[in-house]
Homo-oligomer: A and B are copies of this chain.
Amino acid sequence: MTPRGRRPAGGDTRGAIAAAAREEFADRGYDGTSMRAVARRAGVDPALVHHYFDGKPALFAAAMDLPVSPSALVAGILEGDPACLGERLAQTFLRAWDDPANTPHIVAMLRAGMTHDAAGRMLREFLTTEVFGPVARAARPDDDPSVPLRAGLAAAQMIGLATLRYAVPHPPVADAPADEVARRVGPVLQQHLTE
């Protein structure tokens, strides 16, 4: 079916695509959403979605109005010594989350994820597919069947940390310097990821 005649007029094609992506992610989760399906929902040619967004993670970041692209952060985490993956993971995310421009987004996403099934599914799929999965795979042999559980438990540590640092601020966790938290959480993530 050609979507001709439904392409939004005027200049906000990019915004219309992001809005369609928001609905598609909410309906189908992160893993079940394709760039093609978003194009169909927005009534535009798939090439246009690829023109505006450099892949599904970028589309997700725009749909969720994230001020920072998680994929760029993950690329930085994967570079460098594999023995320090955990510490880079903790440091990178603490630095991004501590930025006052980002903290309210983190809190809103945690709350939505905890109270709305669709938001929760979308978030956990995004986090494991685009963030913790790639990091765990980089740390382990290709055929290691424990990778999904390792990635999930590392994600659990970071979700709990975000909860007690931002959403339900617990002073010892919320007020500790980011470097000290990263120094303590880094080796723990490393253990989850590599044993």
Contact = CB atoms under 8 A, between A and B. Distances in A.
B155 A170 contact: yes
A131 B171 CA distance: 17
Contact of A192 (B120, B153, B184): B184
A92 interface: no
Contact of A188 (B113, B157, B163, B176): B157
A77 interface: no
Contact of A160 (B115, B148, B159): B159
A110 interface: yes
Interface string A129-170: 000000000000000000011111101111111011001101
22 contacts: A111-B115, A114-B115, A114-B168, A123-B168, A124-B164, A149-B173, A149-B181, A152-B172, A153-B188, A155-B160, A155-B164, A155-B170, A156-B160, A156-B163, A157-B157, A157-B188, A158-B160, A159-B159, A159-B163, A184-B192, A188-B192, A191-B191
